[in-house]
Amino acid sequence: MNMDNLTPKEIVVELDRYIVGQNLAKRAVAVALRNRWRRQQLDPDLRDEVAPKNIIMMGPTGVGKTEIARRLARLTESPFLKIEASKFTEVGYVGRDVESIVRDLVESGIQMVRENRTREVKVRAERAAEDRLLDLLVVSANLPVGASLEEVRPAIKKQLRDGLLESQEIELEITEQKTPTVEMFTPQGMESMGVNFKDMFGNIFGGQKSNKRMTVEEARRILMGEEEEKLIDSSQVETEALRRVENAGIVFLDEIDKIASSDRAGGGGPDVSREGVQRDLLPIVEGTTVNTRYGPVKTDHVLFIAAGAFHVARPADLIPELQGRFPIRVELEALTADDFRRILVEPENSLIRQYTELLATEDLELVFTEDAVTALAQMAAEINNSAENIGARRLYTVLERLLDEVSFDAPDRAGERYEVNEGMVKSVLGPLAADRDLARYIL
């Protein structure tokens, strides 16, 4: 999508297609995203001085914190990483060190750029793979008496393009790579040891060629991969990925409240992975250079979006230095019955549509009446209030329970129409919702 025309209002509109409510959070991320474009328009001497305004999202589970960040990254094709802060430990203890965040983000960027390049060269790769397939088919063809290879080639090519030869077997020479795996600890942590021994030592390891018989369909897939590798410049992919990570990377740091120091939050338990982790995170968030297998990466302009329920701790329980690196704080509201109703029907990938399309593959027409949708939303809200509040994820549990029988019998009910109404919702879910102890285990 062209960022030149993507205003904050348009960003919010795009997010509204997938996420219900939470307008304050959408506005915050929309402004943060637009500020990135604004920074690129500045003079170079001022551009480097403008730091991203990182965001803390506060709200219970299942209200859309992760989805907002993920959709934002997809919208702008930005390298994106979701990571739980509670996975990290302070340097010197067993566990992942915080610099692995940047290394994982770079891997995400490499994959994204490689997928883009693959799409760009797809047509050329298909043509090259088709030519190689055609050579193999022509050589193995039983030629009519007096016919030459060039005479039968057009006919075989037409059959190949029409899909008539997909199941025919051919012999293809493939290269088997047997690069050894080595794990060792380094100052940057074990996960940084993505060493490509093939590049370092050539074909000492593996590279053994062998002939295998396979169908044309399987051979095409292998040949496509080989041709794509030939057309894609790995060094350009790495350079572009590092540029995107440094200027457009987004890190979603979940469960940030879990690393609030216990003495600040008033809780107990070990304090090793709390304040120490916060101090290790500090240089990554404020801007530092991390060495990766693809080269050094600066984090000065990576956008960090932290999130947490903050039931016990508060943002003020984080160390002051880290608080200052997250100047924007947004509180997400708990979902109501009306929100649940909208989630069921409004988004492009709404839950009702998902279940309807799934059962349509069995030639079973699934229909929800308006009163059924309303009853489902009310039921989910009531269960969240009486049991643990898991937000919109409650809709999955009630829908799975409601449609359990029809999902099981769907292959035997092809051609039927199955209507879900209010009475059915109340008869199936009502008794379970009324029994709080039972609802805790089933819903």
* pLDDT on residue 141: 67
pLDDT at 183 over 90: no
Say how far residue 39 (Cα) sits from the centre of its chain. Answer: 26
* pLDDT on residue 194: 46
**How wide is the angle at C-alpha 106 spanned by C-alphas 102 and 107, nearest 5°?**
120
Separation between Cα atoms, residue 315 and residue 55, nearest integer Å: 11
Separation between Cα atoms, residue 313 and residue 317, nearest integer Å: 6
Which pLDDT band, with edges at 50, 70 and 90, does 51 fall under? confident
> Strands 80-84 and 169-176: what pairing?
unpaired
Which pLDDT band, with edges at 50, 70 and 90, does 243 fall under? very high
Question: Residue range 127-149: average pLDDT?
Answer: 75
Which pLDDT band, with edges at 50, 70 and 90, does 279 fall under? confident
pLDDT at 110 over 90: yes
17-46 b/e with 16+ CB inside 10 Å = b?
ebbbbbeebbbbbbbbbbbbeebeeeeeee
E strands present in 216-360: 250-254, 289-292, 295-298, 303-308, 328-331
Which pLDDT band, with edges at 50, 70 and 90, does 266 fall under? very low
Question: Residue range 281-288: average pLDDT?
Answer: 90
Nearest to 287 by CA among 247, 260, 254, 319: 247
Question: Residue range 258-287: average pLDDT?
Answer: 71
Query: Are 340 and 390 spatial neighbours (Cβ–Cβ below 8 Å)?
Result: no
Give the amino acid at 363. D
Percent of the chain with pLDDT over 90: 26
Which pLDDT band, with edges at 50, 70 and 90, does 111 fall under? very high
Tokens of 67: 């989805």
* pLDDT on residue 70: 87
Query: Are 379 and 420 spatial neighbours (Cβ–Cβ below 8 Å)?
Result: no
> Strands 250-254 and 80-84: what pairing?
parallel
pLDDT at 162 over 70: yes
100-137 b/e with 16+ CB inside 10 Å = b?
bbbbbbbbbbbebbbeebbeebeeebeebbbebbbebb
pLDDT at 281 over 80: yes
Query: Are 205 and 198 spatial neighbours (Cβ–Cβ below 8 Å)?
Result: yes
* pLDDT on residue 79: 92
Phi–psi pair at 432, nearest 5 degrees: -70, -40
Separation between Cα atoms, residue 402 and residue 372, nearest integer Å: 11
pLDDT at 313 over 90: no
Question: Residue range 102-118: average pLDDT?
Answer: 93
Separation between Cα atoms, residue 336 and residue 187, nearest integer Å: 49
Percent of the chain with pLDDT over 70: 81
* pLDDT on residue 385: 83
pLDDT at 173 over 60: yes
Query: Angle of helix 23-40 relative to helix 234-248, nearest 10 degrees?
Result: 120
Highest mean pLDDT among 156-160, 258-262, 399-403: 399-403
Nearest to 141 by CA among 150, 34, 335, 103: 150
Helices (H), 143-196: 149-161
What mean pLDDT, rounded, does the chain reach?
Answer: 82
pLDDT at 184 over 50: no
Highest mean pLDDT among 86-95, 276-285, 434-443: 276-285
What is the residue whose two structure tokens read 């509040």? 389
pLDDT digits (tens, 9 = 90+) for 331-362: 888 888 998 999 999 888 889 999 999 999 99
Stronger pLDDT, 277 or 150, i.e. the higher one = 277
pLDDT at 95 over 70: no
What is the residue whose two structure tokens read 């349509």? 360
Tokens of 50: 């403008």
Nearest to 136 by CA among 164, 161, 162, 168: 168
Separation between Cα atoms, residue 209 and residue 205, nearest integer Å: 12
Nearest to 425 by CA among 383, 356, 387, 369: 369
Positive/negative CA dihedral, 124, 130, 135, 138: negative
pLDDT at 209 over 80: no
pLDDT digits (tens, 9 = 90+) for 7-49: 899 999 989 888 888 889 999 999 988 888 888 888 888 888 8
pLDDT at 242 over 90: yes
Query: Are 442 and 432 spatial neighbours (Cβ–Cβ below 8 Å)?
Result: yes
Query: Are 141 and 251 spatial neighbours (Cβ–Cβ below 8 Å)?
Result: no
Give the amino acid at 316. A
pLDDT at 191 over 80: no
Rounded CA Rg of the chain: 28
Asked which of 44-58, 102-116, 261-275 is least confident by mean pLDDT, the reply is: 261-275
pLDDT digits (tens, 9 = 90+) for 376-408: 999 888 888 887 788 888 899 889 989 999 999
